[in-house]
């Protein structure tokens, strides 16, 4: 069974689907962060250097968004954005 098939099967369960949908903001943020880093042509090590930290910290930051565990601070997200040549914009949308 490949990843797509496993995901499809799991999402048929209402409880799994609800949890998955609840994580959409984190998944969306992670997609934006990875896109910005890739568009800038930077590795995690490059971003870490620009942020004044070590590469494992960037790995933890990016992976924390998919675990639903630790949420990064706005200050950390701002530093990340600046490191990849972007600015952070946070919105409430109706």
Give all domains of the chain, ordered by start, each with its CATH number.
25-94 (1.10.260.40)
Tokens describing residue 29:
């943020």
Question: What's the CA gap between 1 and 24, in Å, rounded?
Answer: 24
Please tell me the predicted confidence (pLDDT) of residue 19. Answer: 86
Please tell me the predicted confidence (pLDDT) of residue 52. Answer: 97
Residue range 18-46: mean pLDDT, rounded: 92
Please tell me the predicted confidence (pLDDT) of residue 80. Answer: 96
Nearest to 60 by CA among 3, 51, 52, 69: 69
Q: Which residue has the higher pLDDT, 46 or 94?
A: 46
Question: What's the CA gap between 18 and 32, in Å, rounded?
Answer: 22
| pLDDT one-digit tens code per residue, 57-91 | 999 999 888 776 678 899 999 999 999 999 999 98
The CB-based long-range contact list for 69-77 (8 Å cut-off, 24+ gap) reads: 71/26, 77/29
Taking the model in full, what pTM does it have? Answer: 0.80
User: Are 62 and 30 spatial neighbours (Cβ–Cβ below 8 Å)?
Assistant: yes
């Amino acid at each position: 069974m490949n990843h797509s098939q496993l995901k499809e099967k799991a999402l048929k369960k209402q409880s799994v689907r609800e949890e998955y949908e609840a994580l959409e903001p984190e998944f969306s943020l992670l997609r934006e962060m990875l896109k910005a880093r890739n568009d800038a042509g930077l590795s995690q090590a490059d971003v870490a250097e620009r942020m004044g930290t070590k590469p494992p910290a960037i790995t933890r930051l990016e992976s924390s968004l998919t675990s639903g565990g630790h949420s990064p601070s706005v200050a950390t997200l701002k530093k990340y954005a600046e490191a990849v040549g972007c600015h952070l914009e946070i919105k409430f949308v109706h």
